[in-house]
Structure 1
């Protein structure tokens, strides 16, 4: 009777040995179109091999089973060969066959292999630079490995707020931008629970604020964006029976759902990181998943969720240790101000003017940020604040001093902002009630007067119609 096997997607972190968790999680049961199965007994047999309990008399099985469910007798092989076979069968290489051909008297099979690497960024503890290591074993003092360069480039992309996109960053000998500063410090100040969202990389920590459900919620949100773009719909309108109902896709264990392709593809996007990346790579620049302003709005939401949780219970909201910056008022304000700076940078540093739909998205994001800050006019006791301003996010960004918060950026998008006039008027009334510097209040009032001009709305409507017409014409030409 064959030994039962289970797909990787059915395994949980608790079920796996530490050596197999990372590879199984990243693959999630999908291997470039090839079924990936493994034997539970194989895991057990290799676990016996790798977990040295000091008993040298334990006998390893003379017969092993492969992922294809074939059994092999290996007791006649040298010990080194037996160990190699057990390793391959217990943790199979993630190989996908790409093509095969006959060349004269030779059959050639071409394959690619997905290899898991582990990059570690460790604090030095003595004031020197972070210690950067990679499990690949390549690179050295004079040459950082490609995995470090790849990862640190993405860290810089997500954590740098104050830089000019038109000015090249300075690459250090260690393989990262000098402007990033110390990599460990950059991550700890940004916080891993916020960074993980933008890197599409879940935090594997049951004590983290992000938690598995919240991280997966971000993947659900972005999967909805990908699927809605296929139908030319807004994400908020796409399949409310799936996303806005109590029967969340997160509770499903099966990937295949009969008679519902949308739901099946959604489960595939949630289940497999490589498939998600592939789907995203073929999406259009104007799709919601690639909307830079929408992504910044989601980052602010993430920051505020962490901030709100910390404000309600500072003692319980620690991701890993005291090494990370506490998500207090100055921390949240730094992220929010950074996002508004990026919006301004996206507007000014483009090779072409914003399309009307892009301007609308930018204005919507700014108004969302402004509204979120105004709604947080309450003192929070985080223990680290030294002034009342540092206890209150609204005072820090708006109520205490005039920094042109969000107003300066909205003035760059008058036509798009005019579509949200009623929302801005409501925010203006709230600010009048809560209090703000007179100069800020007057600038806001001037912005509203400008947006009330009828020409603004008519101009934006005409631009949107022209953009849609151009896009339809482009599709026909293709």
Structure 2
């Protein structure tokens, strides 16, 4: 039986939380029951009402079965919070609408209170592959420490979930749902384990962490079976894949936001190291020490493109936590390449062999990356910048405007300049062009001075 309609509140599932919590409230509304901020009288009234409805001393109960048939453990909650959780998990409410949030996450408009726990239960019903064998322990905010954050569990499936449960879904330009067109694939459990463990290394990238270790969830192991004698890394990898408590502990000490920042910092250091080796090679003919590679311009250009593909892949898979790190890495990459608009070997002091048909443009790293797209209409760095939400682009507009000026002086191709200017002016695409109130983002004064706004 549906619970009576009392009020409409907003619940936000954002990028820095594991479960829905109270969002902004409309004037005159009571806050939803996800915190301990309600008055004592209100808490006592709710507890008393819930106990009367159940006809039993429910305050002593520590487990409750949700509408999804999933059982929850309420031992972490206070007595008043347990009453709210029981009311929410056993009730049935109505979602007025669900919409994506700029920068990542979802905003739910849910009728009646007690709704946080109910919403958590309903989402678990559709994102968990099966019913957990034991009770899921809930925190006062509806978090379950043994599970991935709710946003990770939902992935790109929010629209499909809304269709299944008949919740009105209202898409918002510039949000994670619009990024589904880029075919982002969520990390598998072994990939997440590599991501976690590689974050503790100063140089190792996630896909480089012990690639010979192949584990699947379909082949369960007990903790004892995860032990690899004499190999601590391999043991920890297996435990992260198969043991929920170890996996949860690793995520606590190395949360997804920290892992995203570490990854993009490593990418920048990789680019910086590549250019150091390239400078050594073009000046003295010294090959790279790690692999004795002769770093010709075409080799460096391809490695730059490979780094860019990694940035794009992780911008999507780490959405929305990786947006800031991705923006910084992209700015660094584009700004640095602008400094290489010259014949790389013009001032070299060594006897370099060159082909008879080689031109100055062939020896120009800037030219090879900015003028020579490898995927048809792809724009180096700019196509990846378009993946970022509007609010992130706003924050880096001054830096992009400075780069635009440099590229004008460096003689960048007109289509490339137009593309960059459209990003600066807020005309990226239908995904990111519309901001709050339906208005396009105004460009900075420097970005449009003396130039026609590109449409």
In which range does the TM-score fall when normalised by the shorter chain? 0.3 to 0.5
Q: TM-score, normalised by structure 1?
A: 0.34
TM-score of the pair, normalised by structure 2: 0.36
Higher helix share: 1
Instruction: Specify which structure has the bigger relative contact order, considering alpha-carbon pairs within 8 angstroms and separated by 6 or more residues.
Output: 2
